[in-house]
Structure 1
Amino acid sequence: MTELQSYGGYYLWNYVPSRAAAVIFILLFLGATAYHIAKIWKLKTYFCICFTIGGIFEVIGYCARGVAHDRTGQIMPYSIQSVFILLGPTLFAASVYMVLGRVIVAVHGERHCPIRVRWLTKLFVVGDVLSFVIQGGAAGMMVSSDMASMGNTLVIVGLFVQITMFGLFIVTAIVFQVRMRRRPTAESFDISLRWEYHIVTLHLVSLLIMVRSLFRVAEFVMGHDGYLLQHEWPLYVCDALLMWLVMVIFGIRYPGEIAGAVGRHERVKMSDMGA
């Protein structure tokens, strides 16, 4: 039976990570990521590349957890799984933010958005990058026993940045949706765009990412001796499963037609300028 090993007298893990659970989610995330790569290739939805990279991060993270099963005293697999699983959802969020801006442009609904469209994606992506940088740096600090406390605090700060930006994003999407229903544009009646269908998709995946982020905040607030870090199942239920569902939902309700509509809109603008 595999036993916990110490790293310089300090135990990185509170349990022996399950190899079987890691392999299951490696396969699930591999399948979802491959599907998204195929979608990007076929539909040229390059704004979804961050989403696919997030899937790759999840695969790498759970590969590291699988390796860590009998190497709990080694710093490398612990560090890799900690960083990549923590940061994957931040990349999902980046693509989610980009989709809203493209939906608004596709239906010519700029006047209904509470934030100027030219700043909309930039604002949320900058917030996402800030969250990514804070969490990435903090995750690296957490593998050091001397800096673990500071790293833990910074991870919580990074997660709060992510939660705040997601809260603002959800409010923005809801306000836009309500205003569009009250005063729809002519383009919004184009059934091929399914703009509200994609807004609902954003609500669904945003909610799942928000729940996961709140779980990670609770995990780090409770600390190394808290229940959530003492047991493995909460990570798989409240993080791995939710993030896989995010990939599945986004894949099934893929915003392919939105990319085409935005492209047509941009070509019309260019032709108008030429005229």
Structure 2
Amino acid sequence: MADSQHTDESNYGYTPSAAWCLVFIVLFSLSGLLHCFQAWRSKYWIVYPTLVLGALTEVLGWSARYWSSQNVLLLTPFLMQISTLIIAPVFFSAYCYAVLGTAIHKLGAQYSILRANWYFIIFITADIISLVLQAIGGGKASASAATGAPTQSATNIMVAGIIFQLVTMGVFIACGIDFCLRAQLGRPYAFQVRRLERLAAQQSQQSQHAASKGSSGSPNGLATTHSDGSSTVTAVADPEIGEKVPRSGGMAPGATEYAHREHLGRWWLMMLAVGIASAMIFIRGIYRSIELVQGWTGYLITHQIYQNVLDGIPMFIAVAIFNVFNPGYLLPKKAKWGPYY
């Protein structure tokens, strides 16, 4: 008989497979633990609030499904897996946004339609909005299911959060592809070139002013003063992103001047990983949107194979791809803890 802790029949429409649940618990646990070690070794703290937290959320969700496999009539694990597995991909997408933003720092801001720091502001803000909507919807759905009340309004909020995340990821993927193609082909945005040239000119004027006061160069050593008093700017620091940008009139075709070819190639491997992870998140978002639109008794939600193949596997790929294409292996080692590569 149903009570506040049990239902009369399975809320899933089936009994979750203990074997599938255990496989995903082990896989996400191993990936998360490996990320902990890799981030500690390479000193990239951004991994902890993104990939590690996302992997932990997945472990909690699949653990709840395993709990349900032992007693499918229990309400608590059913509600727990809804809340956790719905929101976990938000953490993985946040990491992808951080990587692309930093890649723009390193490979050339002139090739991106958005400024590098805007990727952090715009897309991570969108991620937070998506997370809040899904959390609110999941909480309301849990409360409604526990009391036997209708869950449609709560489901609609969850769908809105997932669709918002899906649109955000679609825009992000488009921006990422655009950046990669332009950087590879050496086709910068004209308005970005003009912006960077203005920054270079400002830095040059500051260097010349410092040189006129008896300094042999700018305080940061980015300008060289000649015997005739002229000053040549070889690279300037963009105050918005703290990275060097090419000198005025000298945009490099595939990277900023300071980047070496080996470094550049390794960054393309990182961007490949971002592309694969983003595609997995996008596929999963489409599945979840259709599933929730169909309702709690719809075809997708009542057939376990779709949960495993269209959610579990893509999300494992999204987190594990960065164990393989890891900045600690591909990029220069960091001397101290920091968020960026």
TM range (shorter): 0.7 to 0.9
Identity of aligned residues (%): 25
How far did residue 11 of structure 1 move? 5.2
**Equivalence for 1:151:** 154
Which structure has the larger Rg? 2
More displaced stretch, 109-118 vs 231-240: 109-118
More displaced stretch, 31-40 vs 193-202: 193-202
How far did residue 72 of structure 1 move? 2.6
Within the candidate set 257, 262, 270, 1:191 is matched to: 262
> Is 1:204 matched up with 2:207?
no
Amino acid at match of 1:156: V
More strand by share: 2
Write the deviation string for residues 142-171 of structure 1: whole angstroms up to 9, x where unpaired: 221424101111111101111111111111
Structure 2: how far apart are the matches of 1:83 and 1:244?
18
**Equivalence for 1:40:** 39
Amino acid at match of 1:191: E
Within the candidate set 288, 296, 308, 1:224 is matched to: 296
Distance 1:154 1:83, change over 3 A: same
Structure 1: how far apart are the matches of 2:334 and 2:118?
20
More displaced stretch, 194-203 vs 158-167: 194-203
CA contact under 8 A between 1:102 and 1:262: conserved in structure 2?
no
Amino acid at match of 1:163: L
Structure 2: how far apart are the matches of 1:206 and 1:192?
23
Question: Displaced runs of 4+ in structure 1, greater than 6 A?
Answer: none
Amino acid at match of 2:327: P
CA contact under 8 A between 1:188 and 1:195: conserved in structure 2?
no
Q: Give the TM-score, by structure 1 length.
A: 0.87
Alignment of 1:90-239 (within 5 A): 90-107=90-107, 109-143=108-142, 144=144, 145-181=148-184, 182=186, 183-185=253-255, 186-193=257-264, 194-239=266-311
Structure 1: how far apart are the matches of 2:7 and 2:62?
24
Structure 2: how far apart are the matches of 1:36 and 1:101?
20
Amino acid at match of 2:79: S
CA contact under 8 A between 1:135 and 1:154: conserved in structure 2?
yes
Structure 2: how far apart are the matches of 1:10 and 1:137?
26
Structure 2 residue runs without a partner (length 5+)? 187-252
Amino acid at match of 1:240: G
More helix by share: 1
CA contact under 8 A between 2:166 and 2:286: conserved in structure 1?
yes
SS at match of 2:301: helix
SS at match of 1:229: coil
Q: CA RMSD in A?
A: 2.3
Q: Give the TM-score, by structure 2 length.
A: 0.71
CA contact under 8 A between 1:205 and 1:246: conserved in structure 2?
yes
**Equivalence for 2:12:** 13
How far did residue 54 of structure 1 move? 0.2
More displaced stretch, 15-24 vs 231-240: 15-24
